[in-house]
Every structure is written in C-alpha cells, then in structure tokens.
Amino acid sequence: MKKIFILGAGCWGSTLATVYAEKGFKVTLWEPISENLEYIKLYRKPKFFKYVKIPPQVHITSKIEEIKNADVIFLVTPSIYVNETLSKLEPLKKKLNNKILISCVKGFEPTTLKTISTTIYEKLKIEMKQIFVFSGPSHAEEVAMGKPTAIVLAGINYKFLKILQKMLSTEIIRVYTNDDIIGVEVAGATKNVYAIAAGICDGLNLGNNAKSALLTRSIKEMVLIGKYFGAKITTFFGLAGIGDLLTTAYSSFSRNRTFGEYLALYKNVNIAKTKIKTSIEGYNTSKVLHIFSEKNKLDLPIAEEVYKIIYKNSSPENAIKNLLSRPLKEEFSWLD
C-alpha cells in the first residue's frame, strides 16, 4: 500500500500529505475549488507557508477520478462537506471496493446526525472492514513543525489495523490501535463543543480551577453520548477522548477554543465566526448534541449552555450561573 489519496487540502490534509510523502509514499492531495488549488500550490514556496511546506513530490489535483489509483484514501474535510464529497465519489464506488478509507473528520453528518463511518458505509456501499478512523490530539500546526504526537487508529479489521499502524507511524507520529470505531468518532466530534466551553472560560477569565472542573464534567457528558451510540467507556479516557479534549481546550491553535473565547469577549456569534474564518466543527456539533439530548433525554448541561450561547443568544455569564446553580449531586451518579 504505497499510494495515498487525500480528500481535502486544508491544514490537516496538507500536513498529512507532507508527512507521508516525506516517508516515501506516493501522495495525491485533492482540492475541488480551483481558486484554492492555486493557493495551495503556493505552499511549495517558503515565503508563502507558515507551518506547512508541501514537498514537490506531492501531486495536487482537482480531479477526483484520480482516486482510482490509490490504495489508501484519507477523508479530511469538514463534516458539513462530507455528504457533498461522498456524492462526488458515488459514480466511482465500484473502484473503491478494494481500497482502505480512513476518516479524519471530527464531527457528525449534519443532515442525518449519523457518524461519518456510518455515512461512508451507507453512501458508498463499501464494507465496514475497509473503513477506519484516525483521531486524537493532533493539531496540524504542531505536526507540521515536527513536534511529536500520538494518534489512535480505529477499525474492526485487526489484520489491516496492524498493517496501517506500522504504515502510518513515523518518527513524530506514534499510532495506537482501537477496535471501537464509534467511540473514537463520537469522542473526536463531541470534544469540540466542550473546547468551545473551555474557550468561554478563558474569555471570561474564570481561572484554571473552573476550567479543569468544566473539562472533567465534560468527559462525563462525552461518555453519556458515547453510551447512547454503543461506544466503549474506556475510549473516552484515551487519546481520542480526554487526550484530544485537553489539546483542543488549551491550545492556541484550536479554532474551537478560540471561538469560545471570542464568544465571551465579543458577545456576538457572527463576530466570533468571522474572526476564526475557517470551519468550526463545534459550532455545528453543538446543534447535533442539542437534538440528541432533546430526543433521548440525555443530561448534557454544558453542551446545552454552549448551544444556547451560539443559537439562542444566551450570555456566557448566564450560562455559568445556570451550571453553578444546578441541583447538587454525587460525582459519579451518572455511571449507575
């Protein structure tokens, strides 16, 4: 498996293309928008890149049909574009029967509210044993700068998990395996909402005590959502869960954390979104979690307050008051 095709030439897609091209793989990076394509090609020139310098051996294209030559396909698009991207692949789905498809998407499909692996399975009619999930604390900027990270690769095909683990591990990326695809996906998606909450804590200058308590209780909510989907609880205490949550909640590179900070500072969702400029996964996932909690009576007070701030114009200060005034309870009563 020497040929990699990456769907999505954003920061993470470009970083993966760079890392694996430098490891010796033949890499194709796909970007559908011609204007973006020309901009991405500028990343080859040092004066244009900040973190990522795409090496010359990476083939950059807008022709999705070139995917037929790949052995391994990475899906690295924002969740809101997953359905559109997979629709472009539908005419080629017979060509995908013997290929590995790895999702790096940290969100839910916004129209169906399904996980991305389920969406891939239903849309492209390929077997679940061909679908894997790549997630964990992995800000592209740090990986692009050569800083070490550990990532979890989830799948149900043990043979290919071990092959891919070795293939995708590098001098700076250490890959662990996990057979809980759903848990890894749900953890990767939900942590973005709680990173927004952490950013709100930063914007309100509430301090480390409050932020640590918030993140600890956020893990509780992530586990409850995972249990709803049938995930393993242990997954949420690993790289895809608490690992990714901590990185996203504390890093200056985190769009979700920064978005939350701007929500607290400017008290205006549109201003906060404009300042981020790129896709904010937690913004969309917040609405998904609200629907989940409403339909299934899940107790997600932190996620609900984030939803109210984003979609109901509630104030961050009021959200903190609501959380602190909830009925007192035992810490682990939710595990019963």
Quick one: pLDDT at residue 47?
46
* Contact by Cβ (8 Å): 13, 74: yes
Residue 41 has pLDDT above 70, yes or no: no
Catalytic residue among 53, 94, 129, 191: 191
Known catalytic membership, residue 191: yes
If you write DSSP's letter for every residue of 27-61 in order, what string do you get? EEEE---HHHHHHHHGGGSGGG-SS----TTSEEE
CA dihedral 242, 248, 251, 252 (to 10 degrees): -170
- Helices 181-203, 281-296: axis angle to 10 degrees equals 110
CA distance 207 to 219: 19
CA distance 121 to 187: 19
Quick one: pLDDT at residue 332?
84
Quick one: pLDDT at residue 48?
44
* Domains of the chain by start residue, with CATH: 3-179 (3.40.50.720), 183-335 (1.10.1040.10)
Residue 219 has pLDDT above 50, yes or no: yes
pLDDT in tens, 164-183: 999 999 999 999 999 999 99
Quick one: pLDDT at residue 113?
93
Q: CA angle, 301 as apex, 233 and 202 as ends, to 5°?
A: 95
Closest CA to 113 of 60, 185, 10: 185
pLDDT grade for 46, boundaries at 50, 70 and 90: very low
3-state secondary structure of 242: helix
175: which 2 tokens? 């890959």
